[in-house]
Amino acid sequence: MNFISRKIETLLAFGVKKVIWIFGENKTIIVAEPGRDWIMTNWSSDIKILDGEVLNLKKLHDEEQ
């Protein structure tokens, strides 16, 4: 987890507006934005990608089955 935290911090310091890190094994997502608390959630949560665009990996997976 230390590697991921450092990588996210580096990306945000470089100017990235939002980092979405997806863990497949435990179906967890981290969403990090500069100046905001990081969110750790599960795959069934709606994640705002861009204005008006939402990602829900569980729904996407279920639709593909």
Domain borders along the chain are: 2-64
Predicted local distance difference test score (pLDDT) of residue 52 = 86
Question: pTM of the predicted model, to two decimals?
Answer: 0.87
Predicted local distance difference test score (pLDDT) of residue 58 = 94
User: Which residues, 6 or more positions from 8, have their beta carbon under 8 angstroms from its beta carbon?
Assistant: 19, 21, 30, 32, 38
Predicted local distance difference test score (pLDDT) of residue 65 = 84
Closest by CA to 42, choosing from 54, 59, 30, is: 30
pLDDT along the chain (65 residues), means of 10: 94 97 95 97 94 92 90
